[in-house]
Structure 1
Amino acid sequence: MTQPTSKTRVVILGGSLAGTLAAAALAPHASEVLILERDRALPETAQPRPRLPQAAHAHMLWSGGADAIEELVPGTTARWLQAGAHRIPIPTGMVSLSPAGWYRRWTETHYLIGASRDLIDWGVRTAVLALPNVRVRAGMTATSLVGTASRVTGVSVRDGDGLESLIDADLVVDATGRSSKILEWLEQIGGPAVEETVVDAGVRYASRRYRAPEGAESAWPVIHIQADPREGRPGQVVTIISIEDGQWHVSLSGTCGGEPSADESLFEEFARGARHPLAAEFLARAEPISDVVLYGRTANRQRRFEKAAMPAGLVVIGDAATSLNPVYGHGMSAAALGAVALRDTAAKTSLTASRFAALAQKAIARPAAAAWLLAVGQDRFYPGAIGKAPNLGDRLAARYVHRLIHTAIGSFLVVKALTDVMTLKKPASVLSHPDVLIAAARGLRKPLLKGPELTEREQRILDREPLIRAEQSQTA
């Protein structure tokens, strides 16, 4: 492990999940880690943050990301669960309609954390800000980089009263998310042009919270009705995830031409119009307890900092480097794995070394690239998608993935490999393992399911009268 030189200061821009995880990664290697946060204060409890609008939507923290967070901040999983989060076994605890049909609910191989984004962030933030050499200056907006094209030496900031000042740093980490101005800042100091790719399927989200029906408050599966890009029509997705306080977090999403509405009366109608009405049937038996919230900043955006001649002393992490369509649930996990890569680089190379930033950026890019391929591999195929059209290689890869999805319905080996990749536990290369290739060639070993596999308890919920009809019968 590298030891910090005297007064080694890391400045992290943004108190986001990516920013606090970066702080946890670098704290053992720096004498001071200073987080600069635009909000006037970070919540001390699991409360919404004004600059995190996507927190109003359902989040999937896959096991790859959750395990990475636990590595960086030990005890976080227990903190989440004690606060009401759920550990949902996968695929056992997922009722999912894939583009090829209903998945079987095989024995547990992975898991995800069911919780609100506010709770997930709080669980990490609480522990990281308790570290003795980590502190936050709230109400601070970074306005530019300080330094040259060869080395960044700090940042220029503006406080809540509009006063400008400079903060010196041995290392600056940009974790300001989708709204990052890093490309503009690099240009100002004569830095390199950075290759940027955008793939935008025009996805819009509509989300609201429901009170779970009695008996469905815990140990409840994720309900996930996926779209099929091959249908040649807008993709519509419905996801129900159990979160804290006996609630379901429900998100609808639709690509260009099939977007959900903010109209509450149309929320469940949209869910019923997806490829199967199962999610809508469950919602008809649950009570909505929040307004419908829309979100539309969902384009996939990849900035290849690892390929550019970046100045020393600057690292970009999280959505500021690679932002992903949230429908695949990889943003938090990719950021966590990027922070692990940052930690591992710091364990081998001093933060003040001229080559540290370049090495770290390349390491951070690897897990982000895997998540990127998963997202754009589908989004490119939706009607009206913006970005490079799929080429022959993309189409062949998509056909192979669909073959795997089809085979996974009747093959535990293939569903395990796909879930390894989906949860970011293993790289996509596992899908080309000889055993997986042979299984794909053989195809289905069990017949397609005619409908979702439901437990007796889940079926009993559906057997109840929908709430509206129940209310009508009581007043008749």
Structure 2
Amino acid sequence: MTSSDTAPGRGTAVVIGGGLAGVTAAWALRGFAERIVVVERDRYPEEPVFRAGVPQGRHAHLVLEAGHRALEELMPGSRQELAAAGAHRVSVSGDLKWLGAAGWLIEYPARMAFLSCTRPVLDKVVLDRVRTEPSIEFLEGTDVVGLLGSARAVTGVKVRERGPDRAEVRELPAELVIDAAGRSTSVPKWLAELGGRPAPEERVDAGVAYASRLFHRPSGVDLGCQAVYLQTKAPDAPRMGVLLPVEGDRWIVSLAGMRGAEPGPGEKGFDDHLARLRDPLLQEALREAEPAGEVRGFQPGPGVRRHYERGCPDGLVVVGDAASTFNPVYGQGVTVAMFCAQALRRTATRHGDIGHATAREARRGVAAASKVAWMMSGAEDVRFPATTGGPSGAMTRLQQRYLDKVLAGTTRDPVVTAAFHEVLSLVEPPSRLFHPTVLAAVLRG
């Protein structure tokens, strides 16, 4: 029995989680579901402020060029709205100083850029657009506590309103359930309770930990750029730092270290880590900067890629961090979440509904959306000796050796640097690095 007696395949869709992955998934389904319900454990603030339900939100975020293009396709005008909300346009070359593993990347006339702002601003711009759609409703302050259905098909969710009185559990039937609950998703556990087999997983864990802080930008300070990225260098330099301009004439600075080189707690740990980066540029930039908040730490946990396309009950699609989580130092998570929303939109458009065929094809689309990002981040993570899991073998070592030559090329040849930026921004596949013009430039080195 469907959740709609009048339009089979076009009934109710329930989205678990109201973060970026969830609200863009809900937006993607508009016009194909009669009713779309986003169940969010928090209550959204009126203004763009950090909230407890997004612990990674206090750290530097990037929407890569491919992510901006995907968001613009889903929500035309989103770039202008982000700029109006205070986001800074940062060209990937010229505005950004990037210390790669082989040295400083050479500048060139780049066409690509990203918009830099805090995560709450990004969230609010997207949420405000989603709230304009009448078919989308929000259950705020509500937990999903289980799934309805069986090992063969998910038919809805069990929900309970949060609060001291522990409200009773009620059922919310649906033809399609989207899991966008992020890294902490309980869907694997709930599927096991229904008698289902776990989705095959890949794991890689570099043990990364973060420490971030907002600063007021000092008047009169000129870094010669808008943003700075001091990359790690395996195996002997496992620390990184990034400075990005954000709204309110502030900088957000995030420091990170792989296992064994994590930032220590508090202000002392932040300052000690800052002093141990590969280059003193960030430390010098912050010498006269006044803090605009406390130091905040974050340990995201391992990278996990769940292959729901290989085994999953009908009526369920898993997106965003609930499907694939990456080491955040590569800035891929938000962009892959946008890719997932695109996959949902395209498959719903192709089938014209939210039925089981749509869900099956969407799961394949989500898997394809994360494949390249997973391959690139995992291959870099395993360069660090304390990393557990991840790819190995002769092919991985061959890829790493060629990438080392590419990284060396980025310090002297703009053709190589442009191709590297296109691949890292997920605009082009890794095969772009083997284009004859790029290959010739790499081999000349």
TM-score, normalization by structure 2: 0.94
Q: Secondary structure at the match of 1:258?
A: coil
Deviation at 1:219, TM superposition (A): 9.6
Q: Secondary structure at the match of 1:127?
A: helix
Deviations 1:211-259 (A, max 9, x none): 1121459995210111111xx3351001000000000000000111111
Distance 1:165 1:72, change over 3 A: same
Q: Secondary structure at the match of 1:184?
A: helix
Deviation at 1:92, TM superposition (A): 2.0
Deviation at 1:51, TM superposition (A): 1.0
> Which residue identity does 2:231 align to in structure 1?
Q
Match 2:407 to one of 405, 408, 414: 405
> Which residue identity does 2:368 align to in structure 1?
R
> Which residue identity does 1:163 align to in structure 2?
E
Deviations 1:74-106 (A, max 9, x none): 222212111111111112211011001111221
- 1:213 aligned onto 2:215: no
Match 1:306 to one of 305, 309, 315: 309
Q: Distance in 2 between matches of 1:251 and 1:33?
A: 36
Q: Secondary structure at the match of 1:81?
A: helix
Deviations 1:232-287 (A, max 9, x none): 33510010000000000000001111111223134233222111111111111321
Q: Distance in 2 between matches of 1:68 and 1:356?
A: 20
Unaligned runs of 5+ in 2: 1-5
**Which residue in 2 is equivalent to 1:250?**
253
Deviations 1:45-97 (A, max 9, x none): 21112111111111111111112111112222212111111111112211011
Match 2:171 to one of 166, 173, 183: 166
Unaligned runs of 5+ in 1: 444-476
CA contact 1:268–1:283 (8 Å) conserved in 2: no
**Which residue in 1 is equivalent to 2:200?**
195
Deviations 1:107-139 (A, max 9, x none): 122111110001111110011012111110112
Q: Distance in 1 between matches of 2:85 and 2:224?
A: 15
Q: Distance in 1 between matches of 2:370 and 2:226?
A: 27
Q: Distance in 2 between matches of 1:121 and 1:149?
A: 34
Deviation at 1:150, TM superposition (A): 2.1
CA contact 2:237–2:278 (8 Å) conserved in 1: no
> Which residue identity does 1:292 align to in structure 2?
V
CA contact 1:234–1:382 (8 Å) conserved in 2: no
Match 1:364 to one of 363, 366, 387: 366
Q: Distance in 1 between matches of 2:317 and 2:391?
A: 31
- 1:33 aligned onto 2:36: yes
After TM superposition, list the pairs within 5 Å mapping 1:329-340 onto structure 2: 329-340=331-342
Q: Distance in 2 between matches of 1:33 and 1:426?
A: 33
- 1:9 aligned onto 2:12: yes
After TM superposition, list the pairs within 5 Å mapping 1:80-159 onto structure 2: 80-159=82-161
Deviation at 1:298, TM superposition (A): 3.8
Aligned residues: 436
Q: Percent identity over the alignment?
A: 34
> Which residue identity does 1:302 align to in structure 2?
R
Q: Secondary structure at the match of 1:132?
A: coil
Q: Distance in 2 between matches of 1:408 and 1:130?
A: 44
> Which residue identity does 1:347 align to in structure 2?
T
CA contact 2:141–2:161 (8 Å) conserved in 1: yes
Match 2:326 to one of 324, 327, 331: 324
**Which residue in 2 is equivalent to 1:293?**
296
> Which residue identity does 1:168 align to in structure 2?
P
After TM superposition, list the pairs within 5 Å mapping 1:447-462 onto structure 2: none
CA contact 2:14–2:177 (8 Å) conserved in 1: yes
Deviation at 1:183, TM superposition (A): 1.2
Q: Distance in 2 between matches of 1:417 and 1:423?
A: 10
- 1:278 aligned onto 2:259: no
Q: Distance in 1 between matches of 2:380 and 2:176?
A: 36
Q: Distance in 2 between matches of 1:83 and 1:217?
A: 24
Q: Distance in 2 between matches of 1:337 and 1:216?
A: 38
Deviations 1:348-380 (A, max 9, x none): 014343321111011111221111112111111
Q: Distance in 2 between matches of 1:9 and 1:219?
A: 52
CA contact 1:269–1:280 (8 Å) conserved in 2: no
Distance 1:75 1:388, change over 3 A: closer
CA contact 1:44–1:126 (8 Å) conserved in 2: no
Q: Distance in 1 between matches of 2:240 and 2:223?
A: 23
Q: Secondary structure at the match of 1:327?
A: helix
Q: Distance in 2 between matches of 1:277 and 1:427?
A: 33
Q: Secondary structure at the match of 2:113?
A: strand
CA contact 2:245–2:252 (8 Å) conserved in 1: yes
Q: Distance in 2 between matches of 1:145 and 1:193?
A: 15
TM-score, normalization by structure 1: 0.88
Deviations 1:3-40 (A, max 9, x none): x947621110000100000011111211111100111x
- 1:383 aligned onto 2:385: yes
> Which residue identity does 2:247 align to in structure 1?
E
Q: Distance in 2 between matches of 1:414 and 1:107?
A: 13
CA contact 1:86–1:218 (8 Å) conserved in 2: no
Q: Secondary structure at the match of 1:29?
A: coil
Q: Secondary structure at the match of 2:29?
A: helix
> Which residue identity does 1:359 align to in structure 2?
E
Q: Secondary structure at the match of 1:28?
A: coil
CA contact 1:46–1:119 (8 Å) conserved in 2: yes
- 1:46 aligned onto 2:37: no
CA contact 1:218–1:242 (8 Å) conserved in 2: no
Deviation at 1:307, TM superposition (A): 1.9
Q: Distance in 1 between matches of 2:391 and 2:137?
A: 45
RMSD: 1.8
